[in-house]
Structure 1
Amino acid sequence: MVSETRPIIIAGAGPCGLVTALVLQNHGIPFLILEKTSRSKLCSDTGAGFDLAPTALNILIHRLGLSKERIDETLSRYERWYIATIHGDLVKDEGTPQSALEDCACTHRSALQQALLDQLLQNATTEETEFLKCNSSLEYYQEEEDQVKAVMNDGSILVGKALLGCDGINSKVRSCMNEHREDPLQYLGTMCYWGKCPREEVEKYSSAHKSNSSTFVWLLGTNKVPGSLFITPSNGTYRYLWFLSVPSGKPLSGTLDDLTRRGGAVLSEMAKTELLNTLDENGALDPVLKTVISGTPAGEITEAGLFDRVNLDLPFSSPRKLVALLGDSAHPQSPYLGQGTNCAITDAYFLATKLAGVSAQEAITYYDSDQRREEMKNLIEKARQQGNFLNSKNRFECWILRTILRYAPIDVDELKRYDFSNKNMLSRLDGIKAKSSDGGAMTKPILIAAFVVAVFAIGLRMFLQYW
């Protein structure tokens, strides 16, 4: 008879896997994390960051047992918004409403990972310190009546009560689960680049940053030079994190299966020069954009194509309900709604909490609900639409975006609206009746502004066509 000390096997030690592990640890449930990356690279700083919406912040601050001070060390708040075109034409420069400052934040991926890992190590007993197995990857798994056998790359076999795939968009767990199904990735026509730049370099050219180091910068592309650049502060450091997306007909060839770089590759010096030349083809590039790219060594810039999945109707669990997919393994999405990591943290907390109270089959069945799958499908499709709009080459769409951003108030509620599914999931866990999704509908003032601008743009287009 197999001992009840069989662990929950977690594939992947990113934020999703570490949150899962921390919840299980808090409930006294044995677990084992498998991670392809070496221990020295696990929390390496590649300049990646992401937004955190209210549900994920609730989980991180109030439900994991982490000290508020430790979490606050990893967070930055957007106290001011500076929006301009990539040619330096100002669109908006104003403060964030005070009421919204505590609801949302941004975080440095490596800092959050380190905080979660430190807490796991701090809580672990002497017997539990070997919960993380680095340089280790799954080859395939076999489900039996009430357990999973995971066959590793070194030929060893691990036996667990359940297997949780927290291993990202190129998930090996997902590949094994869907080996007899069509499940290709879908390229979204966009290449992205990210890294980190010293603050003093940015502050040379941005008056907003000289007086306020917690400013969120958004540089908008044009129809001639499409794309978007986002710059966010990194709390506790003298760096800014930046993310650039540009339309591209084909993805990077030979991308790496390196989740510390989200499956991307290191940018070469030649490619960095070509990128700057492409963006600066008219010689009128905003100095902030030019500075963050030129001020970041090529070896610290990641280049990656944006992907999600073609088939959005596949389950997040195996037929026997002993294997589940979480986060990007289950529902990868482009970053334009800021929900990827928020969904992963919510998945992790929800399923790990259920595993502490019922059998693996019951927990995974409850986790993989029709409602969650449908809401994630809608979110992925909306993220695609948002990305197409933000990176548009259409001059009228570019003009509409600039006009809305210039005259509409700062929409700090957008991240909260698209957090609806995660809020619902937490309500289900807490025994509160979940509300039906509003699909991330726009608030009334912004909807009216968008409608007026759109009607005006359509009229202008018709006028120009027949003039």
Structure 2
Amino acid sequence: MVGTAVVVGGGIGGLAAAIGLRRIGWEIRVVERAPVLEDAGAGISLAANGLRALDELGVGEAVRSAARGQYSGGTRTPAGGWLTRMDGALLEKAVGTPIVGIPRATLHRLLREALPAEALLIGYDAGAVRQTAPGRVRVEDGRGDVLEADLVVAADGIGSRIRSGLFPAHPGPVHSGSTVLRALTEEAVDLRTDFELTWGRGAEFGHIAFHDGRAEWHAVLSLPAGTRFPDPLAELRRRFHDWHDPIPALLDATRPEAVLHHDIGELRTPLPSYAVGRIALLGDAAHAMTPHLGQGACQALEDAVTLAAALATAPTTEAALARYDAERRPRSQAVARAARQAGRMGQRLTHPVAVGLRNTAMRLTPSRTATRMILRHHAWTPPRLR
């Protein structure tokens, strides 16, 4: 079965969905509200499930070439003691690939390059989405421009207007209780590990190392929504000045204007369906989750491949979307719950006794046991598209 599709949203999930649909013979248009597709953002880790999805989309090799494998590192205390050590080689042996780190802008560029330039429509603010007979969906922007297709993929993010229109009674995204500041360093930093997380009381600091010696760092703080600082970098230097190396060095290697600050939201109330008629919800529009497992982008990539595979084999679009919903909703919502719980046991903990008990439990957990826990989310086999 082939047809035409409009993908609303030009982020990682939307571009991946467009690539998948194009690989099975569909005609696609990606519409993005932003007037310019800027290579913005910090960094991202991709686990085996996300890389396997990218392989099925035909861009896995390019992404691996631009990424750095995460073989060393782990989780530490602010004083520098190790809670867990990463065994990237053991993980690679178990699932066939290490976790990799890549600048988000690089990943976005590689996905864009897999699509013809004419497939991307920038500055199109998709507003009303209406299903029309027979079996067509109509997308309109605020200027009266209209696109019609057999399918609309709503990949318009955590604040999805399409989702709000389909489920008006749903409460929508809520603040997770945390905010994140992050940036790429301006210059190379002397790092001894590929990836680290450090958990303090109500705070987390982490880094991802890249091929060129630069790094992405992030700081997650337990703060009310809307909290902002006049000088974010100075505030982070104040909060983390006595945390272990290389945290101060990472902050010193960052330009103040490079720091991004976002509140972390999530869809705490699960959606009853990822498909309504000929509209499919994908990525954060369907299952926005906290970042504590590093699975947000990976789950969107899984969505994209699963949707394309269903459309390639099902007899009708409606049957394909029903299959997509049945396959993706249980898994992605389970991962979202696990990410929320990981945050509660990690960065969100503040009581000294609770922090101490967690740290002891982590130190006593064997490496192989920790690896098995990771594999619950990473060990996913994509459906074949070709």
TM-score (norm 2): 0.88
SS in 2 for 1:100: helix
Match among 354, 374, 381 for residue 415 of structure 1 = 374
Cα distance in 1 for residues equivalent to 2:155 and 2:376? 25
Do 1:269 and 1:298's aligned partners in 2 also have CA atoms closer than 8 Å?
no
Do 2:271 and 2:286's aligned partners in 1 also have CA atoms closer than 8 Å?
no
Task: Spell out the pairing of 1:271-282 with structure 2 (5 A cutoff).
Answer: 271-280=232-241
Cα distance in 1 for residues equivalent to 2:171 and 2:86? 44
User: Is 1:58 aligned to residue 52 of structure 2?
Assistant: yes
Go from structure 1 to structure 2 and tell me whether the alpha carbon gap of 1:418 and 1:232 turns closer, same or farther (over 3 Å shift): same
Unaligned runs of 5+ in 1: 122-128, 254-266, 431-467
Go from structure 1 to structure 2 and tell me whether the alpha carbon gap of 1:94 and 1:188 turns closer, same or farther (over 3 Å shift): closer
Counterpart residue identity of residue 229, structure 1? F
SS in 2 for 1:275: helix
Cα distance in 2 for residues equivalent to 1:334 and 1:67? 25
> Residue 22 of structure 1 corresponds to which residue in structure 2?
19
Kindly state the Cα deviation for residue 231 of structure 1 after the two structures are TM-superposed.
Answer: 0.8
Task: Spell out the pairing of 1:44-123 with structure 2 (5 A cutoff).
Answer: 44-52=39-47, 54-61=48-55, 63-66=56-59, 68=61, 70-91=62-83, 96-98=88-90, 100=92, 102-106=96-100, 107-121=102-116
User: Is 1:240 aligned to residue 235 of structure 2?
Assistant: no
Counterpart residue identity of residue 252, structure 1? G
Cα distance in 2 for residues equivalent to 1:328 and 1:372? 13
Counterpart residue identity of residue 97, structure 2? D
Do 1:29 and 1:356's aligned partners in 2 also have CA atoms closer than 8 Å?
no
Q: Percent identity?
A: 18
Deviations, residues 173-201 of structure 1 (Å, cap 9, x unaligned): 212212x3132322111111111125643
Q: CA RMSD in A?
A: 2.6
* Greater Cα offset, 305-314 or 328-337: 305-314
Cα distance in 2 for residues equivalent to 1:413 and 1:311? 28
Counterpart residue identity of residue 317, structure 1? A
Deviations, residues 392-419 of structure 1 (Å, cap 9, x unaligned): 1021222233323434343334332124
Do 2:8 and 2:30's aligned partners in 1 also have CA atoms closer than 8 Å?
yes
Kindly state the Cα deviation for residue 299 of structure 1 after the two structures are TM-superposed.
Answer: 1.7
Deviations, residues 131-163 of structure 1 (Å, cap 9, x unaligned): 100111211111112001111122211111111
Kindly state the Cα deviation for residue 90 of structure 1 after the two structures are TM-superposed.
Answer: 4.7
> Residue 229 of structure 1 corresponds to which residue in structure 2?
205
Counterpart residue identity of residue 68, structure 2? S
Go from structure 1 to structure 2 and tell me whether the alpha carbon gap of 1:241 and 1:408 turns closer, same or farther (over 3 Å shift): same
User: Is 1:185 aligned to residue 159 of structure 2?
Assistant: no
Structure (1 or 2) with the larger CA radius of gyration:
1
Unaligned runs of 5+ in 2: none
Cα distance in 2 for residues equivalent to 1:409 and 1:197? 34
> Residue 4 of structure 2 corresponds to which residue in structure 1?
7
Do 1:268 and 1:298's aligned partners in 2 also have CA atoms closer than 8 Å?
no
> Residue 131 of structure 1 corresponds to which residue in structure 2?
119
TM-score (norm 1): 0.74
SS in 1 for 2:310: helix
Kindly state the Cα deviation for residue 67 of structure 1 after the two structures are TM-superposed.
Answer: 6.5
Go from structure 1 to structure 2 and tell me whether the alpha carbon gap of 1:143 and 1:246 turns closer, same or farther (over 3 Å shift): same
Matched positions, count? 377
> Residue 356 of structure 1 corresponds to which residue in structure 2?
312
Counterpart residue identity of residue 60, structure 1? L
Cα distance in 1 for residues equivalent to 2:240 and 2:91? 37
User: Is 1:147 aligned to residue 136 of structure 2?
Assistant: yes
Cα distance in 1 for residues equivalent to 2:336 and 2:21? 29
Cα distance in 2 for residues equivalent to 1:34 and 1:130? 11
> Residue 175 of structure 1 corresponds to which residue in structure 2?
164
Kindly state the Cα deviation for residue 268 of structure 1 after the two structures are TM-superposed.
Answer: 6.1
Cα distance in 1 for residues equivalent to 2:87 and 2:272? 42
Counterpart residue identity of residue 59, structure 1? A
User: Is 1:336 aligned to residue 292 of structure 2?
Assistant: yes
